[in-house]
Amino acid sequence: MTKGSHSHPNIRTVRLVLGILLISLLGLPSVFAGGDGIYIETLNRSAGLMGEAPREELSKTYLAHGKMRVAGPDQRGTDMILDPATGTLTFLNHATREYYRLNVKDMMAGMSQPGIDQMRAMVEDTQVKVEETGETKRIGSWNCKEYRVVKTGMMGVDQEIWATEDVAFDVTRFTEMMSLSGPDALLANSAAGKSQRAEMSKIKGYPILTKTRMQLMGTTMETERLVTTIREEPIPSSLFEIPEGYSLREMGTGPGTEAHP
C-alpha cells in the first residue's frame, strides 16, 4: 500500500494476504523469539509488483510471546499480527480504527473441494532447486553465504539469497503457518510437500539479503529485501493485542466500502 491510499479496506487486506502468500511460496526461512524478543528492520524494494510503480519501504517486525507483528511505514496503514497457536491473522487498519481477522484453517475449510484440488495440483507441480554457491561476503554486521534458488511450475522464481548463521533465531512456525507447502497446509505431509521443504532447508541461517525475480501471469516482478537491524529487546505483550477503541469489521460489510482514488 502506498502512503495516503484510501482504497476499499477489503482491497487493502486482500492485497496484503496475497503478498504474504507470495512470500510464503518463496520459502523464506523461519523465526522464534527467545529471551525478551527480537526486533527486525527490513528495507523492501519492489518493481512491477501488482502493477505498482517501483517503491522502497521500511518494515518493522516484532517477535515475542509466540507471535509476530509486521508494521509498515505508514502510521495510517495496515499492520499484521500472526498467531501460529490459533492459526489467526489479524489486520489492524489504523486509518479506520478497525481490525479484520482471518483464520487460515477456516479459510481453507471454506473453499470448495474442486478449488482446493486445483490449488494443490498447482503447488505440487512446483519444482524447487537450492544451490549453495560457495560465495561469501559481509553484509552489515553479518557474515553471509550465497544461495541460488530456482522454482518452476505455478510460477517461475529466481532468487539470490545471502543468509547468515551469526544470529540465533528460527521462524519456522510463522512461515509454515502461511506456506502452502507447510505440514498443515495444502500439501501437508505429501511427498511433494516434504520434498519442497527439504530443499529449502538447505539454506542455513537467516536471510539478510534476498533478491527475487518472479514471473507470474505474464508479469515480471522484482523485489529486494535487505535486513538492516536485528536486535534483542523487551517487547510488551500488548503490542500483539487489539488497540483500545478499534472495532471488529466483517469482510465486505459496513459503511465506507466504496473504493476511493
Q: Is 221 exposed, middle or buried (0-12, 13-18, 19+ CB in 10 A)?
A: buried
**φ/ψ (deg, to 5) at 186:** -55, -45
Q: Does residue 146 register a pLDDT over 50?
A: yes
- Using CA atoms, how far apart are residues 168 and 160, in angstroms rounded to an integer? 22
pLDDT digits (tens, 9 = 90+) for 178-229: 554 444 555 456 676 677 778 888 888 889 999 999 877 777 889 999 999 9
Domain ranges of the chain: 9-238
Q: Does residue 241 register a pLDDT over 90?
A: yes
pLDDT digits (tens, 9 = 90+) for 91-135: 999 999 999 998 866 766 655 566 556 666 666 667 889 999 999
- Check if the beta carbon of residue 163 is closer than 8 Å to that of residue 149: no
Choosing among 2.60.120, 1.10.860, 3.20.170, 2.50.20, the CATH entry for 9-238 is: 2.50.20
- Using CA atoms, how far apart are residues 212 and 195, in angstroms rounded to an integer? 21
- Check if the beta carbon of residue 64 is closer than 8 Å to that of residue 35: no
For residue 32, what are the β-bridge partners?
Answer: none
- Using CA atoms, how far apart are residues 176 and 201, in angstroms rounded to an integer? 12
